[in-house]
Amino acid sequence: MAVAAAATSLVSVAILFSSGRALADIAHVRVKGSARIDAHAARASGKLVLSGTVVDDTAHPIVGARVALGIARARSPAGMATLTGDSPEPCSEGAQPPILERGDLLSLPTDDAARFCARLTLPTDRYVVHLESLATGLVDGAHLDLPVDLALEPVTLRFDPERPVLSLDDESALLEVVASTEDDGVTTAAVGIPLLLANETGTPLGSAITNASGRARFAVDPTHLGPPGKGTLRVSFAGSNDAGASTHEREVERRTHVDLGAPDGIDGKLPVGSPEDGVVVRMRATARCAVRGCAGTPTGTVEARLGGDTIVGAAPLDNGEARVVLTFAMPAASEAALRLRYVPDAPWYQPGPELALTLPLRAPSPWKKLPLLLAGLGVLAWLAVARLPPRAPGRRTAAPRDPAHHPEAGVELLRAGPAARGWTGRIHDAHDGFRLTQARVAVERPAFEGVEVLAEVLSDTEGSFVIPPVELRPGDQLLAEGPLHGMLRRPMPPPGELDVALVLRKRALIDRLVNWARRRGKPFDSRPEPTPGHVRRAAAADLAVARWADAVEEAAYGGGVVDAEAERRVDELAPGDGPGRAPAAIPAVPVPGVGPGQHHRPGPR
C-alpha cells in the first residue's frame, strides 16, 4: 500500500526597494527543499506493520527526521483510534522504540537511512493512518494519509525501475509497476488486479492488469504526461473483496530539448549587415516535444559566438523569441561565421545542437563615424580644459549631487604597474558592489576611418579581467559594458590594477530623466528628486514627455530585463531637448593627485 507524498518547495524572496529612485533588487533568497514520505502497510502475527522512508526532493534520505503518526477510524474520521496492549513496538531488535505521545499519537524515530517502522495492535476495522514529517532548517515538512483495511490483504505498489526523469521527446514512455502483498513477512505477487495511472492533475494516462509476476506495463504518449517541469505519477488500485485499495505516487521531472531557429535566415545565411553598426538577429526557441502537441514555452537566453568562444551578443527569451544584437569589430573577411546556442534557466529545458549561421558583412555607414569624430574632439577639448588654472575662489558653482547617495560609473587606478604586464582589475556594479560576469572590457583607438579595437576581454565569474600589454597613443580609450550595465568610456589609464564600476541601464534611464528635469526646472523639477510619475503629471498635455516618462517608469520598475535594445527603445522616446541615447563618451572629472587617464569615484555602498 505504498504512497508518496511531497510538500511544496518554499522559496522566500526578500526584495529591497530603494526610496526615491527605487529599483527592485533581490536582497536575500532563502530556498527550502521539499520532503516526501514513502510508506506502506503490511500484516504480521495479527499486527499492523507500518514502514517507510523520508527523503528530500532529490531522493536523498533526510537524516534525523522524525515522523508523527496518528490513526483515525475510516467510518468516523472524528473518532481517533486508541493504541493499547503491547502496541506500539519497533520492527526489529535494537531499534529505537516509538514514543507514545498520547493514546492516539506516536512519534517514530528514523535510522541513518531515514527509515521508520512500527508494529501496532488494532482491532480489525478500516482506518486512515496520518503520517507527518516535521520541517527541518533546510527542508519543509510533508504529510501523508494512508488508508488501511485490516480485514483485507494490504497491497503495495511501486514503480520498477523508479524513473525520476522522463523525456517528452521520446515516441513513447514505458512505465512498469509492481504490485505485491505482504503477510507475516512473506511477500507475494498481486496477480490480476487492475491498475490506473494518472499525473498530478488527475489526467488518466492508461490502465493495465498485473500479470503472474505482479507486474503491469504502461505505454504512455509523452505529450499526455504534462508540460516540461516537475510533476507526479500516480498509480492506484481501487481495491477488491480480498485486497485493500492502494495508491503510490512518484515525483518526476519532465524534460525536453530546445531547438533554435532564425526566421530571417535563408539556407543558414542572414541578411547582410554591419557588425560595427549592430546587427539584430531574430531567434526563435521551440521545445522539441511541441511537434507532438506538448505545452510549455522555453525560457532562458540565446548567446551568439564568433569564431571560437568570443560572445558577440546575447538576449533573453520572451515568449520563446529573442532579439540578439551582434556587435564586433569589422573583420577582413566578407562573411562572419556565427554559432548560436540556447542557455537554459531551468533543468527541464535541455539545449539542443548549436545553430550555425553566416552573416554577410558590409562596411559601416559613414554617418556612424560622425559621433566618433565628435567624441574624439570632445576628449581633446576636455584635456585642454583640464589643464586650465583652477577657478578663482569666491565664484558660486552649482552644488554637485551627493556621491555617497548617487554612485557613478567610473575607473580608478588602484596601483600602477609595469607596462609589460598590461592591465588587470575587477568590474562591479557601482551601487551594490556585485561582481559582473561576462562584462566586455576593451581598449579602443578612435580614428576617422572607424574604431580600432586594440584588445578585448570578458570578465570571469569573479568579475576579474586581464588586458594584455598594448602600446598606447593619446586618445586611446577604455571601454566597459555589461549585458545589463550601460557603456562606459574613459581615457586609457596607465598600466596597472584597475577598479571599474558600471551602472545598471535601469538606473541610467532614471538618471537621465532626473538630469533632464533639473535642466528644465519647474514644474518638472521637484524635491528631493523628480520621479517618472512626477514628470508625467507635470507634462500635462505634452504627450511626448508623458510617453517618455511612462516608458522610463516601466523599464526601471516593471521588473523586466533592460538590455541595450530596451534602453535604446526608451531613449528614442525622449523629447527633443531630452538626453537621447546614452553618450558614447563621458569626460572624467579631474581630481588633484589623479592623472588625466584616471577617474576618482567613491567606493560602492
Closest among 45, 37, 88, 90 to 67, alpha carbons compared: 37
Q: What is the CA radius of gyration of the chain?
A: 33
pLDDT at 250: 85
pLDDT at 307: 74
Phi-psi region of 416 (alpha: psi -120 to 50; beta: other; left: phi over 0): beta
The span from the CA of 515 to the CA of 233, in Å, is 58
Closest among 264, 568, 266, 312 to 456, alpha carbons compared: 312
The span from the CA of 242 to the CA of 600, in Å, is 84
Would the pLDDT of 73 be above 90?
A: no
Q: How confident is the model at residue 60 (pLDDT cuts 50, 70, 90)?
A: confident
Considering only 22-26, 124-128, 154-158, 380-384, which range has the smallest mean pLDDT? 22-26
pLDDT at 48: 83
pLDDT at 278: 84
CATH topology of domain 370-386+407-502: Immunoglobulin-like (2.60.40)
Would the pLDDT of 136 be above 50?
A: yes
Average pLDDT, the chain: 79
Closest among 149, 164, 143, 166 to 222, alpha carbons compared: 166
pLDDT at 590: 34
Q: Tell me which amino acid residue 161 is.
A: P
For 148, residues 6+ apart whose C-beta sits below 8 A from its C-beta are 1, 41, 48, 126, 127, 128, 129, 154, 244
Give kind and range of the element (H or E) at residue 532.
helix 532-539
pLDDT digits (tens, 9 = 90+) for 201-229: 888 999 999 999 999 999 998 888 989 99
Would the pLDDT of 389 be above 70?
A: no
Q: Which CATH architecture has domain 262-360?
A: Sandwich (2.60)
Alpha helices in 487-529 (DSSP H): 505-520
Assigned CATH for 3-255: 2.60.40.1930
For 598, residues 6+ apart whose C-beta sits below 8 A from its C-beta are 411, 412, 413, 493, 494, 588
CB 446 within 8 A of CB 372: yes
Going 97 to 101 to 107 to 109, the CA torsion angle's sign is negative
Q: What percent of the chain has pLDDT over 70?
A: 80
Q: How confident is the model at residue 397 (pLDDT cuts 50, 70, 90)?
A: very low
pLDDT digits (tens, 9 = 90+) for 496-522: 999 999 998 888 888 888 989 888 888
Grid look-up 531637448 returns: 577
The gap from C-alpha 435 to its chain's centroid, in whole angstroms, comes to: 17
Under DSSP, the state recorded for 474 is T
pLDDT at 521: 87
Would the pLDDT of 138 be above 70?
A: yes
* DSSP per-residue string spanning 547-586: HHHHHHHHHHHS-----HHHHHHHHTTS-TTS--SPPS--
Half-sphere exposure of 554 (CA within 13 A, CB side): 13
Domain ranges of the chain: 3-255, 262-360, 370-386+407-502
pLDDT at 68: 87
pLDDT digits (tens, 9 = 90+) for 248-307: 888 889 999 999 999 998 998 999 988 888 889 999 999 999 888 888 899 999 999 987
Average pLDDT over residues 471-488: 90
pLDDT digits (tens, 9 = 90+) for 527-558: 878 888 888 888 877 888 888 888 888 888 87
pLDDT at 204: 93
The span from the CA of 373 to the CA of 450, in Å, is 9
pLDDT at 114: 82
Would the pLDDT of 347 be above 80?
A: yes
pLDDT at 540: 79
pLDDT at 111: 85
Q: What percent of the chain has pLDDT over 90?
A: 27
pLDDT at 194: 95
CB 567 within 8 A of CB 574: no
Other CB atoms within 10 Å distance of the CB of residue 599 = 27
pLDDT at 367: 57
Closest among 43, 52, 13 to 30, alpha carbons compared: 13
Cell of 551: 516608458
Specify which of 5-19, 128-142, 584-598 reaches the highest per-range mean pLDDT: 128-142
Would the pLDDT of 371 be above 80?
A: no
Going 567 to 568 to 572 to 577, the CA torsion angle's sign is positive
CB 53 within 8 A of CB 94: no
Cell of 281: 538577429
Residue 221's Cβ-count burial label (10 Å; 0-12, 13-18, 19+) is middle
Average pLDDT over residues 318-323: 92
pLDDT at 28: 42
Longest dimension (CA), the chain: 104
CB 207 within 8 A of CB 220: no
Q: Could you give the strand order of the β-sheet that contains 440-447, starting from the edge strand earlier in sequence?
A: 450-458, 440-447, 477-481, 488-491
Which tops the pLDDT comparison, 585 or 238?
Answer: 238
Cell of 117: 517502522
